[in-house]
Homo-oligomer: A and B are copies of this chain.
Amino acid sequence: MTTKKSRYRRQIIKELFFSRLLSGTELSAKIDKSIPLTNKLLSELVSEGVVVEDHLGVSSGGRRPIVYSITSDALYVVSVAMDQLFTKIAIMDMSHRFVTQVDKISLPLANNEQALSRLSEEIQKVIQASGIAPSKIAGIGIAMPGFVDAQKGINHTFLKGQEKSVTETIAEVTGCQVFIDNDSSLIALAEQRFGAHKYHDNTLVINLGWGVGLGMILNGRLFRGDNGFAGEFSHIPLFTNNKLCECGKTGCLETETSLLVILEKAIKGLEEGRVSMLENLSVDNPETGFEAIIKAANKGDAFATELLSEVGYSIGRGVAVLIHILNPKMVIISGRGANAGKVWEAPIQQALNVHCIPRLAQNVKLSISAMGANAELMGAASLVMDNYEVYN
């Protein structure tokens, strides 16, 4: 049956994309098919030039296996990473390399009826400029903020109010499969697939940005919740601080921990005469403001360090709640805020020590992501290839 065979082929391609190098036996285990069948499919793929016999692998005591890899130009993935103001578009090949410049365009999402059609056009432009045939594109993956229902392909916060779903709209313009998901979930997926600790089955990824997002890998797969809205870490009612959150409630984690809060605190502190190398901060320019604070902290500026420590401790309190509920193996701090690096470790760990039952805290490894600014693009690509086997 032709459609079944095509699914197996896609599974092989998917596994080779993520693992790079695999022997026939390893592939057979991954796709849960017998070795003879896997080898038959592999030799077909090799004769088509999609897969190559890379070299002989190392042996752990026995015949050396032929190791296979996928050719870089066999397929391409279009990755899109959006935030409320800017959208990045890039095309990745099967070697995880971006074959185009990462295209960064200004695309404000709030109250923007044109946003979806703009997005479709820009994606289509990038594809056409690349000269890659649509048949060679495995799909388009999009990471976006807001309440995203990945199943239905819609976003309840942005790009809404159209008749057709986001995925359908873009699919019609480009002729490619389209997948969307929430930015924090996709950062978690990127960490699981490409990160330094990709083998763990229970990982929480904190997306520290203008809000505080949470992506969860539970039982080895991305957990999205019943409507795709899981991970609303920003708005758990954790403080009794009477600070009004933009969600309308008070005491949300976000009121004490987002990068915007850090910036506001910095500005207020400076106004009150705190001594610091920081100057000229403004809420109108959050990106550069936050970068300045990080730079100052890394140079040892006491005020900047104090700011980050305070916020780190609050994040840690939130993480302590997560650890009690989910008993993860690993917690990764990622997102834009992770650029501050090691500064976060001590205060967060300190909060975990104070607020966690020791047995639970002991089992958790805290780590600051090194993936940097590309995490969302990597996650979007993972989303496409994760789903690649499903469609034929």
Contacts and interface: CB of A to CB of B under 8 A. Distances in A.
Interface stretch (A11-19, A44-52, A218-226, A288-296): A218-226
B229 A327 contact: yes
Contacts of A320: 236-237
B325 A233 contact: yes
A63 B363 CA distance: 56
Interface stretch (A275-283, A353-361, A375-383): A353-361
Interface string A238-253: 1010000001010000
Contact of A357 (B247, B321, B326, B363): B247
Interface string A328-361: 1100000000000000000000000011010110
Interface residues on A, range: 35 or more
Given A226-B363, A229-B359, A325 B236 contact: yes
Interface in A204-221: 214, 218-219, 221
Given A214-B325, A226-B328, A359 B236 contact: no
Given A317-B237, A321-B237, A360 B202 contact: no
A249 B355 contact: yes
Interface of A is mostly: loop
Nearest to A230: B327
B321 A227 contact: no
Nearest to A224: B327
Nearest to A328: B226
A235 interface: yes
Contacts of A312: none
Q: Which 7 pairs from chain A and chain B are nearest by CB?
A: A225-B327, A230-B327, A202-B226, A226-B329, A232-B324, A229-B327, A237-B355
6 contacts: A224-B327, A227-B363, A229-B359, A230-B325, A237-B320, A249-B355
